[in-house]
Structure 1
Amino acid sequence: MKSKKLLALILCVVMVCTSFISTVVVNANAPQGWRNLQDFYVFKDKISGWSGSGAGELETVNGNLPIDTQVTYQDLPSLRLNLQTQLSSYWMSVILTLAEWNCHDVSQYVPNGYLEFNVKGKKGGEQFVIGAVDHVSERASGVEQKITKPITDYCTVTTEWQHVKIPLKDILNPSLGMDPYNAKAIVLDKVNLDPFCVWINQLMLTSPDKEKAYPSIKLNQVGFRESAEKYAYVSGFEDEFTATVGTPFQVKRVSDDTVAYNGQLVLLKDYDQDSGERVFKAVFTDLKLPGEYYITVNTPGIEKSLKFKIGNDVYKSLLTDVARYFYYQRSGIDLTDKYCPDYPRKDRTPQDTTAVFDSDSGKTRDVSKGWFDAGDLGKYVSTGSATLINLFWAYDMFPELYQDNQFNIPESGNGVPDILDESRWELEWILKMQDTSSGGFYARVQSDDDGNITKRIIKDKEGDTTNIRPTEDTACAAAALAHASIVYAKYDPTFALTCLNAAKSAWTYLEQNPNNIKSPNGPYNTDNDISSRLLAAASLYRATGEARYDNYFVANYSKGKDTYENTSGDWVGNWNFAFFSYMKAASRNSDAEKWFNTEFGIWVNNKIERYKNSAWGNAITNANYYWGSNNQIMGMCMEAVIGSKLLGTNNDTINNMALSSFNWILGANPMRKSFVSGYGDDCIKTIFSTFNSDGRPGIAKGFMPLGPNRYQGVGLSNFPAKCYLDSADEWTTNEHSVGSTSTLEFITAFANSNFSGGNPVKIGDVNGDDSIDAIDFSLMKSYIIGKISDFPVENDLKVADVNGDGDINALDLAVMKQYLLGKITKFPVE
């Protein structure tokens, strides 16, 4: 089982530069040899893979060839390939994986490269075969192909070390039926059944070539809203890229190739460490006329851009397709042709109706429904809860974008917005994960083997400890359920009350267990639950107004100070979301508000500086693309948008930063890759997912991979922002997840909304959080009966006078009630 916990990473020194077109910052040229393909070690001093034989004739250690530190060459150990006895079982296998069990792209090495290594034998004259295996899901000729060559084609093994170079064309050439883009391993095997022993040292792929270049013009391949900032990046490796400052560019109409806009390139960075490229920007914000366009640049070798659109409805279908992703992730239901005509499937985990507890296999529980977390079939309370909270915030802030009968799901047409129907599928599963006697939640449900499920297991055991109900998962569930109680109150008060009572019970469990209870080893377990407890308290306080939750929040919020002020940090996560919920409460501690205003300002200004200093307009620091980088890029912007709107500090810079993250996802990145399936002419074509074995080519629209990963995706590129592989069999960069997709849904909703800067007056929104809900109703009631003398929002008299009679009184309260009940959709003053 792969680990999904983000690695603790050592960050590099920030390169100071700027992406503002008003300032040109020229950095040092690329370092010498920066673009050369690096030697890729299959074995240097560590090994990954599997080795074995039918009756143990092949010597192995922990399922791999032994690493011999006594037989060395050039001060490095060797692999010992030792068939100790006659191979009576007739089979042996040695698999030396390139990137653990992921596929790896070695296509750039094949044309002129080699498989190189040093070899020597125990007696001399030993024979074996060596070659490669690939892995391509749904390939008609077979998922895996293998080509091996006898070592005698390249050398005669002796008792002395000798260097061997095997042309990669011999074992990985596409003309032989191999797919080097999806290479999996180097393999070794016998020639006959006789014993033999050889040592292999420094096994690596080499090439004299340079890393490939991507097309020069990179932009949002879907397009731009009419009033939005519009730009493309024009970039390339300095040894072949000839555009200069002031090079003309044109935006042309697809319909007749006429020029709609002329401009000049502006230099952003002479050398960008994220991409290894010289980066320019082509800005055409002033072009507002709806239509379909492409860009040309007056420089030889730069091909025209992919086409894109300008129009206020360009992202409308994307909002739906990203939300429909969650339907594809459903557990506990068959996806039928009616709702899923492209990729129907049977329920993958019917065993969830009688899942067993890890601590007691005789004890079962129905934990059906919910969403599969990612490309695996696990269901996780903590990430599911965080996903719901993101979706609820999208609905809270942009309710006008979500309607019933919108997503073509089974619940469409029931009078409830489809985004809430889809979210309820996950909520009902989370409720099933609660231990009703204590209020605590179990962490997750997993298969014994996703490829061949015999049982589904509720993980509640670690060592001798049983009935584990982690406090982190419990706090996350409490927060999501409390938020749900507010969102669903209008549509299903009974269900809303069920959610609230479950959240309250969870809080009682947290009070009774003040120290962190860690979940069983596996994905998403944590040693620290403080921020999640704070989020639970804030959400419950927002939902109930009860002092017990406010007291906890006020006593603990300042513990997040170091997180807000960490200049190397990225998103704030639950610390921010705790304050977001608290800011929606009817009554708030003034000191807490002031503290949040200050600390959020420190945090968001740090992100704005990164955005300004990035050649690609994202807030990644020091080229630090780690696991889930696409989620990281958008997540920081999502928090910046929500927090600034709640605090009344939203502006064009924050909004443009959020839209820039959206542009990155849709193609304005060093690979010119739209990271959303079905959107853009150069969009992803695969995903690490349950689609891999469904027998249908391609994937549904709206899927997004986690993105470039310079750590686990090392070797895919010399440059961090290009360490990505569009392969169905590579999870470190190309897996999806419900959490990251919920962030994409929020940013897509923002891109569809009225995202102009500043704080325009929104009638009825008396607390200034950009939505109209029960909190506004409560504040208006408090004003009318004299409990408060003004409202948190500016222009409060104009905002609160919803019937337009020049006064704020019981008539306005009555009109507000009609609006919240859905009896009217606009206020009389509008």
Structure 2
Amino acid sequence: MRIHCFHVMLACCLSLPAAAQERIALNQDGFYPAGPKLAFVTGHLPGGPFYVLTENRADTVFKGTLGPETASRNSSTVTRRADFSALRQAGRYVLSIPGVGVSYAFPVRAHAMEPASIAALKGYYYLRSNMPLEVAYAGPWQRPAGHPDTAVLVHASAADARRPEGTVLASPGGWYDAGDYNKYVVNSGISVYTLLAAYEDFKPYYDTLRTGIPESSNHLPDILDEALYNLRWMLTMQDPQDGGVYHKLTNAAFDGWVKPGATTLPRYVVQKSTAATLDLAAVAAQAARIFGAFEKEAPGLADSCRRAAIAAWNWAQAHPAVLYDQDALNKRFAPPISTGTYGDNHVEDEWFWAACELYTTTKEKVYRQALEKRISLPVSVPDWGHVQLLGYYTLLRTGAVGRPALKDSLLRLADGYVNALQHTAFATVMGGSTKDFVWGSNAVAANQGMLLLAAYRLTHAPRYALAALDNLDYLLGRNATGYCFVTGQGSFATMHPHHRPSVSDGVVPPVPGLLAGGPNPGMQDHVHYGHTAPELAYMDDAASYASNEIAINWNAPLVYLCGGIEALQRDLGLAR
């Protein structure tokens, strides 16, 4: 309906503070025409009507009634729900709530999540380490190449008879890991896996998606080009003599707030580790089966990946528990290393994941036996140190191991999240437990979404995919802070991420398409946040590395979630 609402608009919207916009939490990137459309107003207020207005506020297109007040479990926040799912007409709108004000403008459109999908994937282009970012592709974020890494030193902790301390290696390429300028194999493992998994699960969508990177004109899908940029670097971190993989490539200490490549400090490859080696084994095996279909575009790549995966597995077999302990290393070797550790003291899940990928690719009995030994380990939403579920995803996707218990276990995990959704103040899976709010909490939300899409693909039950969409709404603005956590998206987005290129480039907007870490009551950076409650403990400040850093493993499930929802929009009835 279209009702002239000039007087309603005057009564409800004028002379109210701009901060009112942050009180109305919604997906600032918008909604699908036939999909759910929820917003939440925070703070105590009486129930009553709400209105959806055209962006110019000249007309009302929908009128509804606010829901009952709900108290959050994760702060003192209270909310009321505005449900305007019945509005299906494409356009740009604002939500008006009497006594509060108007929301940021939002669209209703087909392909509602495609801008975020493209931005999140292209975010990796801006993280490339040793190639210039040209204005044709990077716009105002153009820059010279960063660290070339063509003359990297073997650190004392990584030295052996064939490669003694100080040996010079070449290990170019790859993505900068996070807000710093170092590169870490363990974190690269889950990140590359997730991009490749997105391609495996939603191949038709990604076959045609173009993000405007230099490789967009070639015959590989852009998501594979981007994953390959980092995978080729990971392969350089493998010792060709024995198959072991160096844990990371790093400065001895973090760079300051300088542009990429501005410093000429020595860079090192540091100790081989079982976790890093198994991560490469898993990702290389996965890549071998995917790139086997692209022999013309990437000749020999699949075979190289397969050999690298097997060599890494064999090294790990001979070195099953070489754990990365940076404090212990610094007591023995110089220079001391103080950059990110990615230390993992429990690698049974890495063994399982690598075995799953190798068995799926090779069908060799030795890998089947290895995964069967570990198949009953508990599963949880993945992060870089907990990768058991990645193996489940692969086995269930490919049917390589026909075990109903795998499906049952994954669905029990998904059901636990969906069943808790109705009790949360923002009607999202994210926040069902205070434990969701950790360092990188936004990646928790995105990985929950990835799990829920896996459950949907197994069952075709819409409740799982719609719960995944709820979590995407959370990341794009439907949360207690009111922030859209993806740089360059929405109207009230993260502007000051802990990200050295964004701080040092002299461009006011940050590098786009990057997911901020999100609320983290741990506040390990000791910045004054203003709020300490779990869902509010966020500070849009470059100094806040505990809540506002970016990271490749956080962007990856965002890519999967945005692309998955886009790929499934017609199956789910979101777009007519």
Q: Indicate if the aligned counterparts of 1:357 and 1:364 stay in contact, CA closer than 8 A.
A: yes
Q: 2:541 aligns with which of 717, 722, 727?
A: 727
The 1:604/1:516 distance shift into structure 2, 3 A limit, reads: farther
Q: Is the 8 A contact 2:51 2:60 kept in 1?
A: yes
Native 8 Å contact 1:516 1:527 kept in 2: no
After TM superposition, give the deviation of residue 213 of structure 1 in Å. 8.4
Kindly indicate whether residue 477 of structure 2 is the aligned counterpart of residue 667 of structure 1.
yes
Deviation at 1:587, TM superposition (A): 4.3
Distance, in Å, in 1 between the alignment partners of 2:227 and 2:236 is 15
Paired AA for residue 577 in structure 1: L
Aligned residue for 1:341, secondary structure, equals: helix
- Name the % identity: 24
Q: Higher relative contact order at CA 8 Å, sep ≥6: structure 1 or structure 2?
A: 2
| Equivalent residue for 2:556, pick from 728, 742, 749 | 742
Distance 1:692 1:635 in 2: 28
Match of 1:419 in 2: 223
SS of equivalent residue, structure 2 residue 541: coil
Distance 2:209 2:67 in 1: 46
Normalised to the residue count of structure 2, the TM-score between the two structures is 0.85
Which residue in the other structure is 2:63 paired with? Answer: 262
Partner of 1:91: none
For residue 538 of structure 1, what is the aligned residue in structure 2? 356
C-alpha change, 1:346 and 1:310, in structure 2 (3 Å) is same
Q: Output aligned runs, 1:599-618, within 5 Å.
A: 599-616=409-426, 617-618=428-429
Correspondence list, 1:470-485, <5 A? 470-485=273-288
CA–CA distance in 1 between the matches of 2:386 and 2:133?
A: 33
- 1:341, distance to aligned residue in structure 2 (A): 1.9
2:245 is matched with which residue: 441, 444, 452?
441
Corresponding residue for 2:155?
Answer: 358
Matched, 1:295 2:80: no
Q: CA deviation at 1:677?
A: 1.5
Q: Quick one: structure 1 residues 702 and 587, their matched pair in 2 at CA, closer, same or farther if it must change by over 3 Å? A: closer
2:83 corresponds to which residue? 283
2:302 alignment partner in structure 1: 496
Task: Look up the match of 1:143.
Answer: none
Tell whether 2:363 aligns with 1:552: no
Deviation readout 1:40-95 (Å, 9 max, x if unpaired): xxxxxxxxxxxxxxxxxxxxxxxxxxxxxxxxxxxxxxxxxxxxxxxxxxxxxxxx
Q: Any gaps of 5 or more consecutive residues in structure 2?
A: 1-18, 157-163, 257-262, 328-339
Structure 2 residue aligned with 1:55: none
> Residue type matched to 2:454 in 1?
I
Aligned length: 519
Q: Which residue of 1 aligns with 2:35?
A: 228
Q: Aligned residue for 1:120?
A: none
1:301-346 deviations in whole A, cap 9, x for unaligned? x011111111112222222221111111111112122221211112
Task: Provide the C-alpha distance between the structure 1 equivalents of 2:93 and 2:21, rounded to a whole number of angstroms.
Answer: 21
Any unmatched runs of 5+ in structure 1? Answer: 1-211, 461-468, 760-830
Return the alpha-carbon distance in structure 2 between the equivalents of residues 243 and 392 of structure 1. 48
How much does 1:594 deviate? 2.1
**Equivalent pair of 2:20/2:101 in contact (CA under 8 Å):** no
State the partner residue of 1:751.
565
Q: TM-score, normalised by structure 1?
A: 0.60
Q: Distance in 1 between matches of 2:440 and 2:312?
A: 29
Cα distance in 1 for partners of 2:473, 2:572 equals: 21
Q: How does 1:97-496 map to 2 (within 5 A)?
A: 215-236=22-43, 241-244=44-47, 247-255=48-56, 257-269=58-70, 271-298=71-98, 300=99, 302-350=100-148, 352-359=149-156, 360-403=164-207, 406-449=210-253, 450-451=255-256, 452-460=263-271, 469-491=272-294, 492-496=298-302
Q: Is the 8 A contact 1:541 1:585 kept in 2?
A: no
Partner Cα distance (1:249, 1:256) in 2 = 13
Contact 2:521–2:534, Cα closer than 8 Å, also in 1? yes
Q: CA deviation digits over 1:589-614, x for unaligned, max 9?
A: x4xx1221232232122111232221
Distance 1:216 1:662 in 2: 19
| CA deviation profile, 1:81-133 (whole Å, cap 9, x unmatched) | xxxxxxxxxxxxxxxxxxxxxxxxxxxxxxxxxxxxxxxxxxxxxxxxxxxxx
Q: Give the partner amino acid of 1:324.
A: K
Higher helix proportion: 2
2:319 corresponds to = 513
Deviation at 1:407, TM superposition (A): 2.1
Q: Post-superposition shift, 1:214?
A: 7.3
When structure 1 is superposed on structure 2, of 249-258 and 547-556 the one drifting more is 249-258
Distance of aligned partners of 1:317 and 1:402 in 2 relative to their CA distance in 1, 3 Å threshold: same
1:652 to 2:453 alignment: no
1:681-696 equivalent positions in 2, closer than 5 A:
681-690=491-500, 691-696=502-507
Secondary structure at the aligned position of 2:246 is classed as coil
- The superposition leaves residues 442-501 of structure 1 with CA deviations (integer Å, 9 ceiling, x where unpaired) of 1101113423442111112xxxxxxxx211111111111111112211213510111111
Report the alpha carbon displacement of residue 755 of structure 1 after superposing the two structures with TM.
Answer: 4.1
Distance 1:489 1:519 in 2: 37
Specify the code of the residue in structure 2 equivalent to 1:533.
W
Contact 1:404–1:415 under 8 Å retained in 2? no
Q: Give the aligned partner of residue 164 of structure 1.
A: none
Letter in 2 for 1:701: P
Q: Note if contact 1:226-1:290 (Cα within 8 Å) is conserved in structure 2.
A: yes
1:698 match: 509
The residue correspondences of 1:567-578 to structure 2 (distance < 5 A) are 573-578=386-391
In the alignment, is the contact (CA less than 8 A) between 1:219 and 1:667 conserved in 2?
yes
Alignment check: 8 A CA contact 1:545 1:586 kept: no
CA contact (8 A) 1:608 1:619 kept: no
Q: Determine the C-alpha separation between the residues in 1 that align with 2:285 and 2:455.
A: 20
- Which SS does the other structure have where 1:488 is aligned? helix
Structure 1 distance, partners of 2:414, 2:459, is 11
Contact 1:516 1:528 in 2 (8 A): no
Alpha-carbon distance between aligned partners in 1 of 2:299 and 2:424, rounded to the nearest angstrom: 47
Q: Which runs of 4+ in 1 moved over 6 A?
A: 569-572, 756-759
Contact 2:65 2:82 in 1 (8 A): yes
8 Å contact from structure 1 (residues 324, 702) kept in 2: yes
Q: 1:676 aligns with which of 486, 503, 507?
A: 486
Cα separation, 1, equivalents of 2:382 and 2:138: 37
Contact 2:21/2:103 (CA < 8 Å) preserved in 1?
Answer: no
Which has the greater radius of gyration? Answer: 1
Q: Deviations over 1:257-309 (max 9, x none)?
A: 3221111111251x3232412211111111111111111123x2x01111111
As a proportion of its length, which structure holds more strand?
Answer: 1
How many angstroms apart in 2 are the aligned matches of 1:401 and 1:470?
Answer: 36
Q: 1:252, 1:405 → 2: CA distance?
A: 33
Tell me, yes or no, if the aligned pair for 1:252 and 1:261 is still in contact at 8 Å.
yes
2:155, 2:166 within 8 Å by CA — same for their partners in 1?
Answer: no
- 1:665 deviates by 0.9
Q: What residue identity is the alignment partner of 2:96? A: T
Distance 1:732-1:213 versus aligned 2 partners, 3 A rule: farther
Quote the residue 1:583 is aligned against: 396
1:507, CA displacement in angstroms?
A: 1.1
Deviation at 1:218? 1.0
CA distance in structure 2 between the partners assigned to 1:756 and 1:418 by the alignment: 23
* Contact 2:21–2:104 (8 Å) recurs in 1: no
- Per-residue Cα deviation, 1:485-539 (whole angstroms, up to 9, x for no partner): 1221121351011111100111111222333533545521111111111111101
**Alignment correspondent of 1:710:** 521
Tell me the amino acid that sits aligned with residue 534 of structure 1.
Answer: F
Indicate how the Cα distance of structure 1 residues 325 and 547 shifts in structure 2: closer, same or farther if over 3 A, else same: same
CA contact (8 A) 1:655 1:757 kept: no
- The RMSD of aligned alpha carbons is 2.2
